[in-house]
Structure formats: C-alpha cells, structure tokens
Amino acid sequence: MAKPKNTYYLTAHCPSTLGTMDVLTRYLCEQQCYVVEMQTFDDIESAHFFIRMEFRPPADHAFDVEQFRQGLAPRAAEFGMQWELTAASLRPNVVIMVSRLDHCLNDLLYRYRTGQLAIEIPAIISNHPDLQRLADWHHIPFYYLPVDDSNRALQETQVLQLINECQADLVVLARYMQMLSPELSTALTGKAINIHHSLLPGFKGELPYHQAYDKGVKLVGATAHYIDNHLDDGPIISQGVEVVDHSHYPEQLIAKGRDIECRTLARAVQAHIEGRVFLHQGKTVVFSS
C-alpha cells in the first residue's frame, strides 16, 4: 500500500562503530523530522551495522531533499556509511519477465491494480505470446521476444535495451523459464528478483511436484531471491512453506505451490521497493514490514 506523501525512507550500513545510530537520529532530530519506524541489525561476524528508518519531515514547511542530503553527507562519511534517502511516495518502475505460467504475473498485476504494490509496470517481457491479452487488459506494453540457442545473445541484448529504456528500478522474473547468461545476470545484479519452488535441488527438471509426491514429501514452498550467475542460487529475500501429507496428490501440490510462490514473490518485491533489503557478503539482511 502506498505510504503518505510526506514519508521518507533512510537506509544505511557501515562498519560497526560507536555512534552510528546516534549520528542519524541526532541529525533527524535537528531537522525536526519525526521517526515513525526504525529497525537495526549489527552483524557480529562481519562487524557491520545496518539501519532503516521511516520518518516524516515537519509539516509546517517544505522539505528540501537536497539540503537534507548535503547536511547528512559529511556526518555519514565520518563512519564510512553508505546511505540512501527515498521518498515513500516514489513508485519505482518494475519490468516483469514471464513465460507461459501466469499465476505470479496475475498476482502481481492484481496487487498493482489495487494499490497493494506501489509500483509502475512499464513493460512485460515474454519469450511466448500467450499472456499478451492479460497485459493488454491492464494497458501494459507487452514485448514478445522468443529465444532459443540460436538467438540467445541477440534476445538478451533486446531485453536489456528494453529494461534500460524503461528506466527499470527492478526486474521481476515471474516464472520466466529461461536461464540468463552470466552477462545479463551481472548487468542485473541487485535489481532482479526470481521466484521458484523450494523443492530444489532435490527435484530438478520437469514435473518436480510429481517427483516430490513419489517421495512422500511433507513440505512444499517457494523461494524468492536476487539472481546471480546461477539463476536459482542467489541471495534469498523471502521464503514460504506449508505442510502437506499423503492426501495431497500432485495436482494439489502444484496448486498449493503456486499459491505460495505468489505470496512469497509479492513479499520480496514489497521488501525491495520499501528499502528493507540489504545485500551483504552474498547474503541479505531483510527488515520485516
């Protein structure tokens, strides 16, 4: 759900040092900004500090974002702090990539349409034409870019060009059933989220739920993560899981798994656009909403 227009996110991380929290809270107080939410984490193993704050500037005068940045920059620099300031009212551009399965796309479009996800979707990219009508119904440009081993490099060049033209802040692979090249994965580092069932790596390839049924699996779930050169192995943002039993046949496992995929992917996208996710040493720090 969209935040009030006068709300901002301030996120930062730096080496663990005495005074890291104080420098931010003191500065906000001096600027008469009211903190409505704050979460912190100090990673003992890497001696690294993370903080996320939501705040409201004073209501009686205009908030000068550039002046705020200039005032905070030298104080943050003393702690080697990397930080970002984002208006909560900002609706990031999210490009969605999808193949034939429509459940995750459908769910994201519903949340977009109802305002649960405060995003803009400038493009949907697919290697199949099947979901053109769904995109058209939402008045979202649909780009059909077929791919096989003979044209993969050219197709990925077109994909990246579209992403850049859309000024995408985030790319979501909503069951895009293609392996991305190392070059494209590197270009999208930290700004592309993938979703898949959590039966990996035990049940690979086709019909994973049938394989799981044959083995009597008692848990099914989903994993949403940033992509890396190994598409299904990137830093995890969100996971979901539910208990199943002998009474769940493959079709029921598939239905339950798809439902979990939708909810897990939506949580990951929400966390990313609200600045709740930090990438650190190949893992993530994720503050809850």
Residues assigned a catalytic role: 232
132 Cβ contact list (under 8 Å, min separation 6):
126, 142, 144
Residue 116 to residue 127: CA distance in whole angstroms: 27
Residue 226 to residue 284: CA distance in whole angstroms: 9
CA distances from 51 to 25, 40, 44, 210, 257 (A): 11, 4, 14, 43, 33
- What strands lie across the sheet with 34-43, from one edge to the other? 34-43, 48-56, 8-15, 82-87
Q: Is 167 left (phi over 0), alpha (psi -120 to 50) or beta?
A: left
Residue 267 to residue 273: CA distance in whole angstroms: 10
Cα 151–188–87 angle (5° rounding)?
A: 140
